[in-house]
Structure 1
Amino acid sequence: MQLRKHFLLSFLALSSNVLADLVMFESNDYSSGALGLGPFQTFMSSSSTPAIGNFVVPYNDSTSGQIEDGLILLAPRGTDVNSAGPLIYNKAGSLVWDGTHFGQTLTFKTDTYKGETVILLWTPGTLFGYGVGAGYDLIINNQYEVIANFTADINGTVLADFHEIRMTFNDTALITAYQPIPWDLSAYNITNGWLLESYAQEIDPATGKAIFTWVASDHVNPSLCYATPGASGTAEDNPWDFFHINAINKDDFGNYLISSRHCHSLYYVGSDGNIIWNIGGMNSSVTMNNGTTFAWQHDARFRNNQTQISLFDNEGTAWELDSSNSRGVLLDLDLAKNQVSLNKEWLPYNRTVSESQGNVGILDSGNTIIGWGQVPWFSEYDSNGQLLYVVQFGVGNVQGYRAYSVNWTATPTTRPSVFVQENGFNTTIYTSWNGATEVVTWQLSGSTSESPQLAIPLSNTTKNGFETVIPFNSSSTNYKYYQVAAFNSNEKIIAFSNFTASDGSSQAPAANQTVDSSSNSTTGSATPSSSGGLRSTGSPSPLSSAGGALQNLLRLPSVLVALWIIVALS
């Protein structure tokens, strides 16, 4: 399979240099597992091996205009994932950022901190077999630098769990935590019993100190939840997870919405810790109208000024299935009448139950992204609930805790990467810049061994996908080194790569190849005096660049598409 994949990538690079990234469309071989249980891609200029997406339902001319702009945040995990961890893709399926050096994660999203859009990421210390974690929460800026690292504040012994990281309007963080504690379980014929306590905390990331702590067993009787001890509860390393906290919101009134998966309930908690009302479960204090009951849910969120709640209704867990499929739901909350009603539901394309994980992301346009959790799919729907596309990102034991569509702009502190491959006078330069979102055009320059830092402009190539392939015929001049400069949509240089040779040796950019920090904005400038006067032309907009891989595949001559299919399926 690996040899076949490299052959396919090489063919795509030769046939059209805008198709360096591999994305699949309605591939039966992918879905059947013939390409492996966790298909992944390799590159020449990067060591990244991200999951390949298969558009089970591709978007087309009639649906592409309805797709909201943005990038996809996904963190594939599981035993069949080649490199588990956070990944950002564009909506054409091409990689934008590989953050797998942070390790396996579950919560991975953007939010606002101190007025800036940031990435929130849980990084593990330990993942326990009973479905919770102990680790650290990170805040990462738009240069991919960690600007805050914190964990739970519970007696100095408990670390943050992976189920939730969420910023509040006052720059505090909502997080979950778990701790096994001794508990009288004699009612279940268990001596020396152990309970897995659930905590909701509000933390100041700057100090690591807790502002608010809520302890589930102080307010909810374990007998009111649907997960009985079974074989658990017998030891500290085998505690009974009666509550299973997995989402927290804080509203404008300073109160909290807390989701209990195992109690099938959402609790509205005051700042004093007392429960004001709860929805669902054995003793809902709010009337549940037709279609509003849910089970084993995830990702409960207030919407529309606390008049609505969205959630992912799993309808099953590893030991129990309560329906034929999971779904996303939007509930109308009418506290004056003390009731909830079903506003909308989103059903999965493959009508299956996702036994764990999952989320509902309602976008500004009214579109909705659903991450199907344990089932490795995500899909986007328009504001009327019409399915726009479905992407599969694995076949075997591959999962994604949540999937988000976000607006994210970033300029890494690293340099673009370059790999040079020579074959006689035919030279191929592969270039990528992990995490960069503003590159529109790559300018290629060459230099000789006598003048390794004297950049001679050679060509401009539109960026498309994660890795751009730039062919060059070197018959007229024997260049030893090659360099790329990254141009943004305003034709300003935002980064220079090192000068790189085919043997892997490199030289730093020339001293006069400096980039004004303002060039990362729309009014920026650069002073690449050694690059000559070559300017980028015909640069696409960020939107057309994001969708280019898919559109260019559709525009390929039919003979090339046919050959692509033959190679893929052989």
Structure 2
Amino acid sequence: MRLPSLVAVSSCVLLQYSSVAYGQSNASDTRPYPGTPANFSSFALAPFWPYQTFVTEPDFHPPVLEITKQPGASDGLFIFAPLPFLPVYPDRPPVGLIMDQLGNPIWHSANGYLGQLEVQQLDGKNVLTYWTGGIGGGFVDAHGMGTITILDSTYKLIQNVTLNDGTFKAGDSMQNKPYPSYIDIHESHITPKGSLIVTAYNSTPYNLSAVGGPEDGWLLDSLIYEIDLRTNETLFRWSSVEHIDELPLNGSHQLHPNGSIIDGNNATHPWDYFLTNSVFPLDDGYILSSRHYWSAIALDSNGNVTWNLNGEDGGDFDLVNQTGKSSTFSWQHYVRPLDSTPNRSVTIDMFNNHNNGFDNGTNPSTGLTLYLDLQNRTVETVSALQDPKKVVYVDSQGTFQRLPGDHKLLANGQIPTLTEFDDNDRVVMKARFGQDNQVSSYRSYLVSNWSATPYWAPKIATTQEASGNVTLSMSWNGATPDVYDGWMIYESADVNGPLTEISQRVPRTGFETNATLSAGTRLVMAAAGKGNQATRRSESIRVELPSV
């Protein structure tokens, strides 16, 4: 569905600056009706979110970005991969996006499902990484079979990382067809030693009678791989099924409301009892987040469980100093160690969903920071970030990102909002890119270190106006604001060229910049650049319009 009155957006952000408290809207603080997800919106009643269109990129439709900022908010670029609910937005294909804080798109990927879009470092240089592939799983806890793509700062391909060790059996809605690569969507972290940590899932036959399932049942084995990017050699492999003695099946919370397991009857619908949704290096091992186990789990370099921090009862840890705050969590995402002293202590961050599709609307979602005393096996809460003016209940997905200056960013995954907190945990920025439950982004980031000069040329296109003049539209997908600040337009009355004289200089205005050409037949070209220095030229186009 398209809204003609909204799609032609030249001012592409609803931006407000304020030195006072945010408004008192508490729409997300309303508990959902029974049987509906938290923050559920009726698709028939909720307004459709406006999006942008461009003459030079007619298939590109990024959302309008609504931003509210206070002084002291961080600068940078938003990086996310909005996934529209296609029955609501059938004409908006999924795409990866980089946008500035004025709401202007900077870069967009090709159309097609893309996840885990992130700026990382490889061999000391910034790279752009993302996952592409096929999605299986249920409405809330999808998994995937795909590839990790690594691009340099010109968007040239460095590497496509694949995984297929011959043991995988596609499950769930993937219909058991083979895939060239089985890397899952949930994690793709480049380590300082030049390796890539990824997750994967494999349908596995297993006797589920101990948890009320069939003896000839199936479960989804949650796998971790660390892959050497230079040799494609597997440096580490971990299987949840191979550690059921340490992490038994009855620790799973992935159950129907009546307490029975979800699926598990065949290979295409295995029981997803564990779900690893983040993995990160910790000392000489790893820390993983098991969403369905409600646990942050540390592994040694051999894959043995060294400790299990459980969000319900502490697991291997005792909860201390709980007056006025709680260290409990559930259905969490994005567990990251903030600092650690091996065998003594570690501080961890996580996005504490505290909700899922069956258990929702009771506990607000927070950015939770916990201090773990590894010697005395105690855990206490350092902080639990939430926007007091807009409490959210996030069923799935989410990011807790540390920013420079001890600022923090919470990206709410299923709910298309981002909130920045300053070093005193006060809200200084809020952004929204859609209506609740109409679009989501698994992870979202705010980065200040991405500078890119695309290897491809800028694009130009013309539109004839009723006046007889011609509007020349110019864009350069992927070029960051530091790369060019304006356009130099070259025109020649000789349609065979050459194009040597600059006829206009036009400041950059967002993703697409417009200029007016007088009527007539001529050859036109545009160059993006800074000052008088052209960075990259477009192809030339022939403008053939009669003189007025």
TM-score after normalising by structure 1: 0.79
Structure 2: distance between partners of 1:449 and 1:259: 65
The alpha-carbon deviation at position 105 of structure 1 amounts to: 2.1
237-246 or 227-236, which deviates more: 227-236
The whole-number CA distance in structure 1 between the counterparts of 2:333 and 2:154 is: 31
Equivalent position of 1:374 in the other structure:
414
User: How many percent of aligned residue pairs carry the same amino acid?
Assistant: 27
Letter in 2 for 1:304: D
Contact 1:21-1:466 at 8 Å conserved across structures: no
Is 1:154 aligned to residue 154 of structure 2?
no
Q: Check if 1:421 corresponds to 2:463.
A: yes
Aligned to 2:19: none
What are the equivalent positions in structure 2 for 1:299-378 lying under 5 Å apart?
299-305=334-340, 307-321=346-360, 323-348=362-387, 349-378=389-418
Question: Matches of 2:505 and 2:357 in 1, distance apart?
Answer: 54
What is the letter of the counterpart of residue 474 of structure 2?
T
Q: Give the C-alpha shift of residue 384 in structure 1.
A: 1.4
* Deviation (angstroms), 1:287: 2.4
In the alignment, what sits opposite 2:221?
197
CA distance in 2, matches of 1:374, 1:301: 20
Amino acid at match of 1:207: T
3-state SS of 2:397 partner = coil
Q: Give unpaired runs (5+ residues) of structure 2.
A: 17-22, 26-40, 170-181
Greater alpha carbon shift after TM alignment, 329-338 vs 407-416: 329-338
- What residue number does 1:106 align with? 115
The structure in which a higher percent of residues are helix is 1
Asked if 1:240 is matched to 2:271, the reply is yes
Following superposition, the deviation at residue 455 of structure 1 comes to 2.9
5+ residue gaps, structure 1: 10-19, 505-570
CA deviation digits over 1:395-435, x for unaligned, max 9? 24311101101121111111111112244553321111000
Say whether the 8 Å CA contact 2:99–2:106 is kept in structure 1.
Answer: yes
Counterparts of residues 125-274 of structure 1 (less than 5 Å): 125-129=134-138, 131-155=142-166, 157=168, 159-187=182-210, 188-219=212-243, 220-228=247-255, 230-251=261-282, 253-274=283-304
The amino acid of 1:284's aligned partner reads: G
Partner of 1:485: 527
Number of residue pairs matched? 480
Query: Secondary structure of the equivalent of 2:235?
Result: strand
Alpha-carbon distance between aligned partners in 1 of 2:369 and 2:310, rounded to the nearest angstrom: 14
Alignment of 1:404 with 2:445, yes or no, is: yes
Change (3 A) 1:420 1:455: farther
Q: Deviations over 1:484-538 (max 9, x none)?
A: 11113x753210111123469xxxxxxxxxxxxxxxxxxxxxxxxxxxxxxxxxx
- Looking at structure 1, the residues matched to 5 and 281 of structure 2 have their Cα atoms a distance apart, in angstroms, of 50
Report the equivalent of 1:514: none
- Give the Å deviation of 1:32: 9.8
How big is each residue's C-alpha offset from its partner over 1:300-331, in whole Å with a ceiling of 9 and x where there is no partner? 00113463211100001111127332111122
Residues 237-268 of structure 1 show CA distances to partners (whole Å, capped at 9, x for unaligned) of 111111110000113x3210011001111111
Of the candidates 462, 465, 474, which is equivalent to residue 431 of structure 1? Answer: 474
Residue matched to 1:3: 4
Task: Kindly indicate whether the alpha-carbon contact (under 8 Å) linking 1:446 and 1:456 is maintained by their aligned counterparts in 2.
Answer: yes
Runs of 4 or more, structure 1, over 6 Å off, are 31-35
User: How many Å separate the matches in 1 of 2:266 and 2:168?
Assistant: 18
Partner residue, 2:318: 287
Residue 549 of structure 1 is matched in structure 2 by none
Structure 1 CA distance for aligned equivalents of residues 262 and 73 of structure 2: 47
Other-structure match for 1:118? 127
1:344 alignment partner AA: S
Q: After superposition, what is the alpha-carbon deviation per residue over 1:102-160, rounded to whole angstroms, capped at 9, x for unaligned?
A: x2122111111122111111101343336211111111111112211122353353611
Distance 1:356 1:170, change over 3 A: same
CA distance in 2, matches of 1:334, 1:186: 37
For 1:156 and 1:502, the matched residues in 2 are separated by 58
Name the CA distance, whole Å, in 2 between partners of 1:324 and 1:375: 15
Distance 2:515 2:523 in 1: 14
Q: TM-score, normalised by structure 2?
A: 0.82
Is the 8 Å Cα contact of residues 107 and 165 (structure 1) preserved in structure 2? Answer: yes
8 Å CA contact retained: 1:153, 1:210: no
In structure 2, how many angstroms separate the alpha carbons of the residues matched to 1:412 and 1:450?
28
Q: Which amino acid aligns with 1:175?
A: V
Q: Distance in 2 between matches of 1:454 and 1:386?
A: 54
- Is contact 2:52-2:64 (8 Å) kept? no
Counterpart of 1:495, as a letter, is R
Indicate if the aligned counterparts of 2:490 and 2:499 stay in contact, CA closer than 8 A.
no
* Separation in 2, partners of 1:432, 1:67: 28
Q: Kindly tell me: are residues 434 and 48 of structure 1, through their superposed partners in 2, closer, same or farther at Cα, counting changes over 3 Å? A: farther
How far residue 209 of structure 1 moved from its aligned partner, in angstroms, is 2.4
Displacement after TM superposition at 1:448 (Å): 2.0
Q: Is the 8 A contact 1:133 1:160 kept in 2?
A: yes
The one-letter code sitting in structure 1 at the alignment partner of 2:61 is P
Judge conservation of contact 1:430–1:468 (CA < 8 Å) in 2.
yes
User: In the alignment, is the contact (CA less than 8 A) between 1:443 and 1:459 conserved in 2?
Assistant: yes
SS in 2 for 1:323: coil
Q: Aligned pair in 2 of structure 1 residues 344, 501: CA closer, same or farther (>3 Å)?
A: farther
Distance in 2 (CA, whole Å) between partners of 1:288 and 1:176 is 30
Change in Cα spacing, 1:421 to 1:262, as seen in structure 2 (3 Å) is: same
C-alpha contact 2:208 2:218 (8 A) present in aligned 1: yes
2:241 aligned counterpart, secondary structure: helix
Query: Which is further off, 421-430 or 32-41?
Result: 32-41
Q: Structure 2 vs 1, CA of residues 181 and 432 (structure 1 numbering), >3 Å: closer, same or farther?
A: same
1:24 is matched with which residue?
14
Separation of aligned partners in 1, 2:521 and 2:376: 77
Distance 1:454 1:49 in 2: 30
Q: Is the 8 A contact 2:521 2:543 kept in 1?
A: no
RMSD: 2.5
Does the 8 Å contact 2:49/2:64 carry over to 1? no
